[in-house]
Amino acid sequence: MANTQYDFGMIGLGVMGRNLLLNMADHGFSVIGFDKDQSKNEALEQSATPGTTVKGVQDLEQMIGLLQTPRKIMMLVPAGKPVDDVIESLLPLLDTDDVIIDGGNSHHTDTLRRVEYLQDKGIQFMGMGVSGGEQGARFGPSMMPGGNAAAYDLVRPMLEAIAAKVDGTACVDYLGKKGAGHYVKMVHNGIEYAIMQLISESYSLLKHGGLDNDQLHEVFKEWNEGKLQSFLIEITTEIFLQNDDKGSGRLLDVISDKAGSKGTGKWTSQDAMELPVAVPVIDAAVAMRTISSYKEERTTASTMYPDPYKSSPASTQEWINQVQDALYFGTILSYAQGLAMLAQASIEMQMDIPLPKVVDVWRGGCIIRSSLLEVFGKAFAKSPTLSNILLDQELADIVNSTVVNTRKVVSQAALSGISTSALMASLAYFDAYRSEKMPTNLVQAQRDFFGAHTYQRTDISGSFHTEWGK
């Protein structure tokens, strides 16, 4: 084994790095990983499938020396400074045309900076989003590479081999120039936040309707066999049944309601504001994670502001059906906003993100995989540069068939004081988006009144200012 020239190297053998490397080995590639922590190198080798070629080392220079050239190296380390630190430690050891892939959740502006920095040094750099969590990395993730197209061609066979497959197609493709790979992954995570929030609101609505964990399991199981079929519904179905291994009852009931976050949802909202593109369902999801951290204040406020009168929902089965439609509606709106953001960002930042391919890559392996992506795929097949999927007629028919129940659920939630921020945001966006005329003529009048900002008229072209009140 001493003379083995390995096909692929990985830096960072944590949850993602270890599993992705084992996945590669299972597909016949010889792989080598580096981690400062020797126990992680040992864990890598011990969990390798017998007969595969897997090595873990604690010495970066040793790993570089054992790789075939041009070297193909991925890092799966925390975003930010660790990525720059790894790049600096690699530079003295690499040769021209070696490839570095950052597979972590880096910010796209950092990726763009690194692409340019390394281009000057003859190193091919790619930012690549990876989705699917631990299981996805091990058995078939969805991958979103962008940046250096020549570098992608070098690693394409390996990535296609390890990616999830849907109808025989690998869930990986080149998704555009510059920081496109990480931009697409950021928006993927924004959509992930939105759908997770919508699911948690649906859980709350059904609990208020009297359903216990066993009944919630049954409802979500049925939903997962229908139009809501998706990875997030599937795992939620299982969560309801998980027993508490440190006490009695179900684990979900003793999990603190303070939700964590690593930043990609916030970045999506921040970037959307910069563009600007409206993504209010994602914004609501980010805000709800923040409000979830105000535990003490919420506890005090709950004694000061009692629940409004308890308004009873329709019959239980009717309520379940209405919530199902509302969740479906909100989920479509979440994708619509995220995809509209990608369409706009691609133009503004000249990334050439191919939306039909994005939707294809998300069909399998990733956290936001869902049967809805087939519908979006059809929409983009008809119109690859569609600015918003809500403008597709087939989707409009689906949305129109769910909006009445969505309105009923939102009304009921408002009357009963049940927090449904993301659901309300999806309906509010929809009602504004479908308005040929918005009341923002008044905003324009106010701006001109106090700030002489001028306005346009509907009947005469040009900019106008009025001396209001005179």
Ligand X SMILES: O=C(CO)[C@H](O)[C@H](O)COP(=O)(O)O
Ligand Y SMILES: NC(=O)C1=CN([C@@H]2O[C@H](COP(=O)(O)OP(=O)(O)OC[C@H]3O[C@@H](n4cnc5c(N)ncnc54)[C@H](OP(=O)(O)O)[C@@H]3O)[C@@H](O)[C@H]2O)C=CC1
Please state the residue numbers annotated as binding site for substrate: 105, 131-133, 188-189, 193, 262, 289, 447, 453
Q: In whole angstroms, give the CA distance from residue 141 to residue 362.
A: 10
Binding mask 131-170 for ligand Y (x = CB under 6 A): x-x-------------------------------------
Nearest alpha-carbon partner for 362 in 232, 178, 201, 222: 232
Q: In whole angstroms, give the CA distance from residue 186 to residue 105.
A: 7
Residues 6+ apart with CB under 8 A from 301: none
Q: Which of 40, 177, 188, 250 binds ligand Y (CB under 6 A)?
A: 40
Stretch that binds ligand X, among 17-25, 70-78, 209-217, 257-265 (CB under 6 A): 257-265
Binding flag, residue 130, ligand Y (CB under 6 A): yes
Binding flag, residue 112, ligand Y (CB under 6 A): no
Residue tagged 């009304």 (tokens): 411
Binding flag, residue 63, ligand Y (CB under 6 A): no
Binding flag, residue 280, ligand Y (CB under 6 A): no
Q: Which does 77 bind (CB under 5 to 8 A by kind): ligand Y, ligand X, none?
A: ligand Y
Q: In whole angstroms, give the CA distance from residue 38 to residue 54.
A: 15
User: What phi-psi label fits residue 8: left (phi over 0), alpha (psi between -120 and 50 degrees) or beta?
Assistant: beta
Binding mask 189-208 for ligand X (x = CB under 6 A): x--x----------------
Q: Catalogue the active-site residues.
A: 185, 192
Binding flag, residue 16, ligand Y (CB under 6 A): yes
How is residue 329 written in tokens? Answer: 């509606």
**Do 339 and 413 form a contact (C-beta atoms < 8 A)?**
no
Binding flag, residue 199, ligand Y (CB under 6 A): no
Rounded least distance, CB 22 to ligand Y, Å: 13
For ligand Y, the closer of residues 128 and 410 by Cβ is: 128
Binding flag, residue 102, ligand X (CB under 6 A): no
Q: Which of 169, 229, 261, 388 binds ligand X (CB under 6 A)?
A: 261
Q: Which of 197, 202, 264, 370 binds ligand X (CB under 6 A)?
A: 264
Q: Which does 444 bind (CB under 5 to 8 A by kind): ligand X, ligand Y, none?
A: none
Q: Which does 261 bind (CB under 5 to 8 A by kind): ligand Y, ligand X, none?
A: ligand X
Q: In whole angstroms, give the CA distance from residue 107 to residue 99.
A: 19
Rounded least distance, CB 132 to ligand X, Å: 8
Q: In whole angstroms, give the CA distance from residue 358 to residue 113.
A: 23
Residue tagged 């790095």 (tokens): 17
Q: Which does 192 bind (CB under 5 to 8 A by kind): ligand X, ligand Y, none?
A: ligand X
Stretch that binds ligand Y, among 75-83, 209-217, 405-413, 433-441 (CB under 6 A): 75-83
Rounded least distance, CB 131 to ligand X, Å: 4
Binding flag, residue 76, ligand Y (CB under 6 A): yes
Binding mask 233-262 for ligand Y (x = CB under 6 A): -----------------------------x
Q: In whole angstroms, give the CA distance from residue 179 to residue 340.
A: 18
Binding flag, residue 78, ligand Y (CB under 6 A): yes
Q: In whole angstroms, give the CA distance from residue 426 to residue 419.
A: 14
Binding flag, residue 265, ligand X (CB under 6 A): yes
Nearest alpha-carbon partner for 69 in 161, 150, 154, 174: 154
User: What phi-psi label fits residue 177: left (phi over 0), alpha (psi between -120 and 50 degrees) or beta?
Assistant: beta
Q: In whole angstroms, give the CA distance from residue 85 to residue 60.
A: 13
Nearest alpha-carbon partner for 220 in 235, 210, 209, 198: 235
Binding flag, residue 111, ligand Y (CB under 6 A): no
For ligand Y, the closer of residues 37 and 348 by Cβ is: 37
Alpha-carbon dihedral of residues 421, 422, 427, 433, nearest 10 degrees?
Answer: 120
Q: Which of 19, 30, 106, 131 binds ligand X (CB under 6 A)?
A: 131
Residue tagged 């790049």 (tokens): 87
Q: Which does 191 bind (CB under 5 to 8 A by kind): ligand X, ligand Y, none?
A: none
- How many other C-beta atoms are found inside a 10 Å radius of the C-beta of residue 466? 12
Crossing angle of helices 180-208 and 393-416, in 10° steps, is 50
CA 280 to chain centre: 15
DSSP-derived pairing of the beta strands 72-75 and 54-57: unpaired
For ligand X, the closer of residues 235 and 314 by Cβ is: 235
Residue tagged 């809501």 (tokens): 228
Binding site for ligand Y (CB under 6 A): 11-17, 35-37, 40, 76-79, 82, 85-86, 104-105, 130-131, 133, 262
Binding site for ligand X (CB under 6 A): 105, 131, 133, 189, 192, 261-262, 264-265, 367
